[in-house]
Chains A and B, each alone.
Chain A
């Protein structure tokens, strides 16, 4: 790594920090526009109690002052505390994020490997039954949302399979053993797998039509060697590019899938806190997810430069 590449990476990190800051700011003011407040719930609270609560949490001060205080705390690593149950945001993240991350990673790896393989098969066997079959699967994957896939999997592979065989092959809900992790990961991965396979097919077809594939053929390489050595590596580039946005899709997908399979991940907290106007939690989870996505995209950009020698990790001017 030379100094230019280092400069590029530093610059990207700076941009990333600015993005996260903008995200925090926008979230902070937007959530204050939500109707209601954290203390108005089912039962009526006397006005003076409410005022006291506002004072306790510093919500009686002007909004800009609250923002500065909040921002100051974040810089010290304090992401705030839930107004509902008094738990620290950092604790909630430490407890539930690893679960969501594991679910997401399993889904990502599954989607990537299966998607790429299906795409290669479809492109190499173009126009045959294999091509139609894989693209049909991909079409279903793109058009059927994960909660439908999840429910169907629960019903057929979780329930019906158990009734038929008498053995609980896949758990229907929860997140403990291996047999409980397969169905949610697959449900989450299905859509992304479909996206990747379609992209990979197009990209493979493009690469297979390139002159350098003919060069490889002229050298005497076998079809297999041409596909694996020359075509796949070039065809992977567009797939790598979408990995960043795909991580985002998978993360938001976890909200839904975690709900269906009752998985104790972060998605649950995210949905709850918005419903309850739990300001510190909304800001905290949004910022955390935002920072995670920014990081994922940064990693993809750097990966891109490592895989494609034509992409130089330099900041603009040579």
Chain B
């Protein structure tokens, strides 16, 4: 079956000016395709630009360079009309379910607002939809009149999901949707997201740092390091044939739920720290921590290339 491109990132960069002559490069020259119906997992350590990339894809931040294409058509996010139309197609679930719901609006208003501004349905039908959505995500219709602070973290994240679903998007960015939740609640939310994807044919970009969960939910996985996309492949492929030295270190740090195997496992511990993303030097971003780095790595920035079928990696040594 031919895969249908839904969202395409073309050489997307996002810079923030943090001071005089200081530019923080949060996302650096990332190109990738997101196919319809898939879940693209995005992993990397804190501060590697995962969330920024999610927000750029969503149109919350304007990319400094590069383009975002929706079904092969460029979305001009600076154009209010384009952004408005795009917001109907793409939605986001935020990491912090406490901060992402307006504390002075009832749950019903929060969920209905998106439909309202996109002129979906009449008032009565919208109310009906709010009840349906609440039930879809495992809450009750009575909850519509309550305020966000009356709910637990897991319930709030369900509200966040209902809100994102309200305007029937095709694509949802899940920006670490479970990392603020209890472990017992995490699996519930993951399964809810999976069910919804099966029912509605949603496409996800799933940002997380919990590698086990990413492996469980993702069809493909993108590994980011210091704003750069360093490896991209199918989820099994990336675990079985890890190519990039950073990905190897990252994946070897995952605990195995078997004490014997875990004891035998040799975790590859990286030395040094992540370099500052402010005014980055040329060369491979990982060069200063890479055990195999050569002079070329320190001078020339590697580009993403297809090393195995469908398996992309940005490393000179592969």
Contact bitstring B155-180, A, C-beta under 8 A = 1, else 0: 00000100110010000000000000
Can you identify 18 A-B contacts, CB atoms within 8 angstroms?
A: A212-B103, A215-B101, A216-B102, A217-B60, A218-B87, A218-B92, A218-B164, A219-B87, A219-B114, A219-B163, A220-B88, A222-B84, A230-B102, A234-B103, A234-B104, A307-B104, A309-B103, A309-B104
Interface residue? B70 (CB, 8 A): no
Please judge, given known A-B contacts A309-B147, A309-B149, whether A219 and B103 are in contact too, CB under 8 Å: no
Residue among B84, B117, B164, B167 with the highest chain A CB neighbour number at 10 A? B117
B271: chain A residues within 8 A (beta carbon) = none
Q: Give 5 A-B pairs besides A215-B92, A309-B147 with Cβ atoms closer than 8 angstroms.
A: A211-B100, A212-B99, A308-B103, A309-B149, A310-B147
Interface residue? B55 (CB, 8 A): yes
Interface residue? B65 (CB, 8 A): no
CB-based contact B102/A234 at 8 Å:
yes
Q: B150 CB to closest chain A CB, in angstroms?
A: 9
B117: chain A residues within 8 A (beta carbon) = 219-221, 225
A309: chain B residues within 8 A (beta carbon) = 103-104, 147, 149
CB-based contact B102/A219 at 8 Å:
no
Which label, helix, strand, loop or mixed, suits the secondary structure of the A interface? helix
Interface residue? B224 (CB, 8 A): no
CB-based contact B91/A218 at 8 Å:
yes
Please judge, given known A-B contacts A218-B92, A309-B147, whether A212 and B100 are in contact too, CB under 8 Å: yes
Which 3 pairs from chain A and chain B are nearest by CB?
A220-B87, A211-B99, A211-B100
Interface size, chain B (Cβ < 8 Å): 28
Interface residue? B80 (CB, 8 A): yes
Report A's interface with B, CB cutoff 8 A. Answer: 210-212, 214-222, 225, 230, 233-234, 307-310
Residue of B whose beta carbon sits closest to that of A310: B149
B10: chain A residues within 8 A (beta carbon) = none
A215: chain B residues within 8 A (beta carbon) = 92, 94, 100-102, 160, 163
Residue among A210, A212, A217, A307 with the highest chain B CB neighbour number at 10 A? A212
Residue of A whose beta carbon sits closest to that of B91: A218
B100: chain A residues within 8 A (beta carbon) = 211-212, 214-215
B102: chain A residues within 8 A (beta carbon) = 212, 215-216, 230, 234
CB-based contact A214/B103 at 8 Å:
no
A309 to B110, CA, bound (A): 15
A221: chain B residues within 8 A (beta carbon) = 113, 117
Contact bitstring B163-206, A, C-beta under 8 A = 1, else 0: 11001000000000000000000000000000000000000000
Q: A240 CB to closest chain B CB, in angstroms?
A: 12
Q: B67 CB to closest chain A CB, in angstroms?
A: 20
CB-based contact A220/B103 at 8 Å:
no
CB-based contact B104/A219 at 8 Å:
no
A211 to B180, CA, bound (A): 14
CB-based contact B101/A214 at 8 Å:
no
CB within 8 Å of A: which B58-89 residues: 58, 60, 80, 83-84, 87-88
B60: chain A residues within 8 A (beta carbon) = 214, 217-218
Which of B55, B87, B94, B104 is A233 in contact with, Cβ under 8 Å? B104
A214 to B160, CA, bound (A): 12
A142 to B163, CA, bound (A): 43
A210: chain B residues within 8 A (beta carbon) = 99
Interface residue? B118 (CB, 8 A): yes
Residue of A whose beta carbon sits closest to that of B173: A218
Residue of B whose beta carbon sits closest to that of A207: B102
CB-based contact B84/A220 at 8 Å:
yes
Please judge, given known A-B contacts A214-B100, A233-B104, A234-B104, whether A220 and B149 are in contact too, CB under 8 Å: no
CB-based contact B103/A211 at 8 Å:
no
A220: chain B residues within 8 A (beta carbon) = 83-84, 87-88, 114, 117-118, 167
A214: chain B residues within 8 A (beta carbon) = 55, 60, 92, 94, 100
Interface residue? B96 (CB, 8 A): yes
A215 to B58, CA, bound (A): 11
B113: chain A residues within 8 A (beta carbon) = 216, 219, 221
A218: chain B residues within 8 A (beta carbon) = 58, 60, 87, 91-92, 164
Which of A211, A225, A307 is B94 in contact with, Cβ under 8 Å? A211
A193 to B48, CA, bound (A): 44
Q: B79 CB to closest chain A CB, in angstroms?
A: 13
Q: A233 CB to closest chain B CB, in angstroms?
A: 6
B160: chain A residues within 8 A (beta carbon) = 215
Residue of A whose beta carbon sits closest to that of B90: A218
CB-based contact A310/B83 at 8 Å:
no
Q: A16 CB to closest chain B CB, in angstroms?
A: 28
Q: B1 CB to closest chain A CB, in angstroms?
A: 31
Q: A216 CB to closest chain B CB, in angstroms?
A: 7
B167: chain A residues within 8 A (beta carbon) = 219-220
A71 to B308, CA, bound (A): 94
Q: A64 CB to closest chain B CB, in angstroms?
A: 52
A233: chain B residues within 8 A (beta carbon) = 104
